[in-house]
Structure 1
């Protein structure tokens, strides 16, 4: 029998582009903003903390096609067969979250399922990412959801490797001799490819296309100023890398977590296509949860919301209004996305979207093995909760991976690095939302969000929330079992639970209460008390008489 800790069929995945590192697009920014520096004369921290009200007129259409012509410049990820590595029996994140006990509870509560309702209805989770490569360890076949990278794509090609690893944390089954498993292995992944750094803008000259929706104001054929980048880092904060300039308005220039990952040119993915992908996911039958481990980081100074952000904000609200829980990574620090460590936590240096739209999004920060906040996790007033995001183990994202193929490292040039980032904390929360939706199908999206936040391990802040972990690290067992105030009038039972025998009140160890007349007991207690008092008086009198009687002289015998 092959154990999970042996090197057999356990691969280090060679990622020649982004693993855990995505940053879809930006709005038009000045050159100084592209470098992460506020425009001259702009006071630091002057950007609005709260996004403006949602403008649903900005809701984009679900085009389901790329915004530009992209070509594959970097080959897809491969398995490094010469560097097989042993993996631990059970990842630390699973132990920390007690997933084994959580799964036992779900099987008992939902007729043997972990990610389906008690009646067997499949919960679908849309993963908006770099695509998801089908893997035999997925509990359900990966469903094609759409492709914003290649016009003929279906979303099930993952050249970057990032999306498959994210999806594995949500929906991978536990194998007999391997400890890794997803949070909701009976759920079905719906893959929507929205980003890729292996695909880049075609080099050959072509007639400039009209600006996409949300980029009004740019003259036709003009070259807008470059934009800055953001999430997602697949390694620790140092070393940081610099993004590559040369992008057009709203295009992605990721703030890489490792040097050398940005190979030059323009990768696919921006806020416009991200908004369209959210609309696509929301319109897909059966999708109850959306996970976005892709986002954008920009300087907070320099004005309010951008047109691209408005479109994404409207798309997220659209999804929640359709009863879908939206989960997003909080973002990672990089050269172009500095940590929000300013004196006033309520006035961040950088704004991260979609986490910025905290009214409608669960924004997930990352913790490390010590339980503390990971150094790369971006702080901010929008952070909702936290989950494990370091020393990640997940499915091997390379094509034709076998049942025992997993990955816990990435090779970048001469560097062998761990897989980590808030990208991988987010799917733990998306998986938890899936389990809640399976056990309590009558809860709506906002009630599911409230159940997650109210049962988290709250930090020591006076308000029970801070800018590091939000409401705290998630507690899956509590989220699935706690009695939440305000849910008492919601029918939480399911058809399966309604078939169970009615609960019966069990007798306690205490005798039943005596509800008879009180007079006999009063008389008995009064008589007893009187007898005790009389006895005490008698003893006192006898003792006093003996003490005061004069001594009698001894008589001769």
Structure 2
């Protein structure tokens, strides 16, 4: 069984298999609906433990007050909320659990695939609560931070944690060693099924597995069947993170400078799941404050859009306010950054769109979000997909019936029209003015000279007598 990594939160070890050469046939196989797992009961696939030295991560408070966090400000949510606030939508958060919080009044725990007897309301990793806050934290009059869809309902399913491990795994560990982390692909498949059956209209998955060989195991077949079931049979919009380079260490190559229009599926070296099941999910990359792809975001042919994912502010899993980072049990501070936190912005937008356009299918919602994003120069690229998500445009713009394929558009040489030469200047007015001035000046000089008397001497001649 492969472990999951909840990105940007050091949640376990990403799946790492023996590296092999990139294959041309890197797309997922046709999904077998018969591999669909049950969503019940919500229990770990095996016995787990949280060692006594694995205390829950502490958090850094920050972001309280009337100032709107920069990541939220770039989305212009005040304008978007004139059209929709997500009312009537149910967003499932499959993550590390979501702690109860006064600004999550519509939160319902839905199960725990990490700890036996849990219900999804414990978040030792301080990750799932941050994700949930970005999606649906309620508004307060004196607080600038708010969730993207503050009127949506939230469901919490815990599927992974860095602070748990399989029972007995600590026998050969020292007292200061950290747990292995826990999170099974099979449990993720069951969690997706459980969320869909509970009526989730949007499912946020801010975690990935990153095998370096094509994942063809029974567990990945079940995951493919689960996302297909949720998207097609339950009409849920599934939003996933694109992956971070710290967890997906092999990453993927970006554009080939010698062949930028090449099919990106031929260059896959790290299979990021569930984003790999591109037909059924919307995968989200991260951008920085300047709008450029984050250095940690994993490129891939499955990336659909991008959203802010650096230095995020959200709800505090340990207190009633907001937080901008956390501390590991070794005292290391980590700001909330990663594609894990870019994805919930898009999940919030999906909830806004579903509330405003209830007639749209999940596939049509995804197309609307992609078609209204701020596209890169190539139209699409493996870092930001079709571009940075734009909530206002997603709620107001008309969209085409179909989108171009996820292949960068080739550079086009266009001959710009050569401007006609400028006409010769018309100096008539100037010349007339100059001539008229010269005439006036000459007349003035002549008049001045004529004002003096002309004296002529006459000679007198006398005749001699």
Q: TM-score, normalised by structure 1?
A: 0.65
Return the alpha-carbon distance in structure 1 between the equivalents of residues 283 and 62 of structure 2.
Answer: 34
Q: Secondary structure at the match of 1:333?
A: coil
Kindly provide the CA deviation profile for residues 278-300 of structure 1, in whole angstroms up to 9, marking residues without a partner as x. Answer: 01111103x10000001111114
Return the alpha-carbon distance in structure 1 between the equivalents of residues 325 and 132 of structure 2.
Answer: 17
Match for residue 127 of structure 1?
93
Match for residue 326 of structure 1?
238
Say whether 1:351 aligns with 2:271. yes
User: Paired residue for 1:441, among 358, 382, 389?
Assistant: 358
Question: Across the two proteins, how many residue pairs are aligned to each other?
Answer: 382
Q: 1:391 to 1:296 in 2, by over 3 A?
A: same
Match for residue 421 of structure 2?
none
Return the alpha-carbon distance in structure 2 between the equivalents of residues 86 and 159 of structure 1.
Answer: 22
Match for residue 202 of structure 2?
289
Any stretches of 5+ residues in structure 2 without a counterpart? 1-5, 257-261, 403-465
The answer (yes or no) to whether the contact 1:23–1:295 under 8 Å persists in 2 is no
Q: 1:440 to 1:67 in 2, by over 3 A?
A: same
CA RMSD of aligned residues (A): 2.6
Per-residue deviation, 1:310: 1.1
Match for residue 65 of structure 1?
43
Superposition pairs for residues 141-540 of structure 1, below 5 Å?
141-203=106-168, 263-285=177-199, 287-300=200-213, 303=214, 305-321=216-232, 322-334=234-246, 337-341=249-253, 343=256, 345-346=264-265, 347-398=267-318, 401-402=319-320, 405-412=321-328, 413-461=330-378, 464-486=379-401
Q: 1:436 to 1:84 in 2, by over 3 A?
A: closer
Q: Secondary structure at the match of 1:299?
A: coil
The answer (yes or no) to whether the contact 1:298–1:337 under 8 Å persists in 2 is no
The answer (yes or no) to whether the contact 1:19–1:160 under 8 Å persists in 2 is no
The answer (yes or no) to whether the contact 1:23–1:297 under 8 Å persists in 2 is no
Return the alpha-carbon distance in structure 2 between the equivalents of residues 152 and 355 of structure 1.
Answer: 30
Per-residue deviation, 1:484: 2.4
Q: Secondary structure at the match of 1:104?
A: coil
User: Paired residue for 2:75, among 84, 88, 97?
Assistant: 97
The answer (yes or no) to whether the contact 1:129–1:292 under 8 Å persists in 2 is yes
Q: Secondary structure at the match of 1:408?
A: strand
Q: 1:23 to 1:452 in 2, by over 3 A?
A: farther
Match for residue 553 of structure 1?
none
The answer (yes or no) to whether the contact 1:22–1:293 under 8 Å persists in 2 is no
Return the alpha-carbon distance in structure 1 between the equivalents of residues 138 and 230 of structure 2.
Answer: 28
Any stretches of 5+ residues in structure 1 without a counterpart? 1-16, 39-43, 107-113, 117-121, 207-244, 247-261, 488-557
Match for residue 428 of structure 2?
none
Kindly provide the CA deviation profile for residues 224-253 of structure 1, in whole angstroms up to 9, marking residues without a partner as x. Answer: xxxxxxxxxxxxxxxxxxxxx99xxxxxxx
Q: 1:417 to 1:87 in 2, by over 3 A?
A: farther
The higher radius of gyration belongs to: 2
Per-residue deviation, 1:25: 6.7
Kindly provide the CA deviation profile for residues 27-76 of structure 1, in whole angstroms up to 9, marking residues without a partner as x. Answer: xx75xx1xxx33xxxxx212632111111111111131101111222122
The answer (yes or no) to whether the contact 2:126–2:326 under 8 Å persists in 1 is no
Q: 1:265 to 1:447 in 2, by over 3 A?
A: same
The answer (yes or no) to whether the contact 2:66–2:142 under 8 Å persists in 1 is no
Match for residue 25 of structure 2?
48
Per-residue deviation, 1:86: 7.4
Q: 1:336 to 1:184 in 2, by over 3 A?
A: closer
Q: 1:79 to 1:46 in 2, by over 3 A?
A: closer
Per-residue deviation, 1:332: 0.2
Match for residue 77 of structure 1?
57
Return the alpha-carbon distance in structure 2 between the equivalents of residues 98 and 279 of structure 1.
Answer: 33
The answer (yes or no) to whether the contact 2:110–2:156 under 8 Å persists in 1 is yes
Match for residue 86 of structure 2?
115
Q: 1:268 to 1:105 in 2, by over 3 A?
A: same
Match for residue 103 of structure 2?
137
Match for residue 443 of structure 2?
none
Return the alpha-carbon distance in structure 2 between the equivalents of residues 47 and 167 of structure 1.
Answer: 38
Return the alpha-carbon distance in structure 1 between the equivalents of residues 343 and 247 of structure 2.
Answer: 22
Moved more, 157-166 or 171-180: 171-180
